[in-house]
């Protein structure tokens, strides 16, 4: 039944069939995360990092209504040029994008869904979505968290995006039974910075240890994903006080302009990039590279 909707890239399909390591990648970072041509250059570099560390990359998107698991360089170029014209696609949007045969860029949640359809267990991204600041009034909670509760994919990230309420995000994940692993860290990284005021559930220091946990969890039928929090490299982290100030200012502007829902994160990230004169974009790219490397290492250990 899935075959009528799903296109698995031949290289990815062959790797999965042979039991080789594969790492899923999202596409919202291409369409909404940065401008062309930097978005395409970054996406292709991330794929190369995964190859250099022994795994096969599978960038995921929806093109003309087809669920694509693994994209060609030409398809990544097409998506990068289309940019903001591509629909940011979460779980609820998938059937509409498919039925209308249009293009969709996958978020963390929808990338997890398509990865699971194909049988991919490890996914590298920048940061996960979560509980937005002020959610006690707005109920603005990312669909990423519910997907992590239900879908058997490990998400390697630089923690929760620092524009979020990190404490409430962790509380939500705990309620849903989603383990949060800190890779060589005791505290949850806050995207642009290596630390926050909040601890992780478990610290694990090697890809092998992380892969062992994933195998045990899913072999026992314990449904749901795992957050693998991987701090941004120290050389590329931003000043925490400066980032907090910039985010508070951006949140105030968002309220003034009445921006909410799926438009919130792109707006906030753009404002942060503007205020930091592009240093946040550089940090974003470096943390994605770092996550891709770790995800490939975990995927290699997982298939052993």
With a CB cutoff of 8 Å and minimum separation 6, the contacts of 125 are 25, 26, 29, 108, 111, 155, 156, 157, 288, 291
- The reply, when asked if residue 88 is annotated as ligand binding, is yes
189 token code pair: 């990284």
Q: Pick the catalytic residue: 26, 77, 297, 301? A: 26
Q: Pick the catalytic residue: 121, 161, 262, 271? A: 161
161 is catalytic: yes
- The reply, when asked if residue 81 is annotated as ligand binding, is no
- The reply, when asked if residue 108 is annotated as ligand binding, is yes
- The reply, when asked if residue 143 is annotated as ligand binding, is yes
Instruction: State how far the Cα of 251 lies from the Cα of 160, in Å rounded to an integer.
Output: 16
- The reply, when asked if residue 197 is annotated as ligand binding, is no
Strand partners, 229: 157, 182
- The reply, when asked if residue 186 is annotated as ligand binding, is no
Instruction: State how far the Cα of 130 lies from the Cα of 141, in Å rounded to an integer.
Output: 6
12 token code pair: 């990815």
Active site residues: 26, 161
Annotation: binding site for substrate:
88, 108, 142-144
Annotation: binding site for Mn(2+):
140
Annotation: binding site:
88, 108, 140, 142-144
């Amino acid at each position: 039944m899935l075959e009528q909707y799903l296109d698995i890239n031949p290289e990815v399909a062959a790797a999965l069939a042979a039991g080789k390591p594969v790492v899923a990648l999202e596409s919202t970072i291409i369409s909404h995360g940065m401008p062309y041509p930097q978005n395409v250059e970054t996406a292709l570099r991330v794929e190369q990092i995964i190859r250099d560390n022994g795994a096969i990359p599978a960038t995921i998107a929806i093109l003309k209504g087809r669920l694509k698991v693994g994209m060609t360089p030409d398809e990544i170029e097409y998506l990068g040029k289309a940019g903001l014209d591509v629909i940011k696609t979460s779980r609820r949007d998938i059937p509409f994008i498919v039925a209308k045969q249009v293009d969709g860029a996958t978020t963390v949640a929808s990338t997890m869904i398509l990865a699971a359809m194909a049988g991919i267990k490890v996914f590298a991204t920048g940061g996960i979505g979560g509980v937005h600041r002020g959610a006690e009034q707005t109920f603005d909670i990312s669909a990423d968290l519910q997907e992590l509760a239900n879908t058997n994919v490990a998400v390697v990230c630089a923690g929760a995006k620092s524009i979020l309420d990190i404490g409430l995000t962790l509380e939500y994940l705990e309620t849903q039974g989603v383990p949060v692993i800190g890779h060589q860290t005791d505290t949850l990284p806050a995207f642009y910075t290596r630390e926050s005021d909040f601890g992780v559930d478990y610290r694990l220091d090697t890809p092998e240890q992380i892969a062992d946990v994933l195998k045990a969890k899913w072999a026992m039928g314990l449904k749901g994903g795992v957050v693998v929090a991987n701090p941004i490299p120290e050389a590329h982290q931003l000043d925490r006080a400066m980032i907090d100030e910039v985010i508070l200012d951006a949140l105030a502007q968002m309220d003034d302009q009445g921006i909410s829902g799926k438009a919130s994160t792109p707006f906030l990230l753009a404002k942060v990039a503007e205020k930091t004169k592009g240093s946040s974009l550089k940090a974003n790219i470096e943390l994605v590279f770092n996550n891709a490397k770790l995800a490939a290492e975990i995927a290699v250990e997982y298939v052993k």
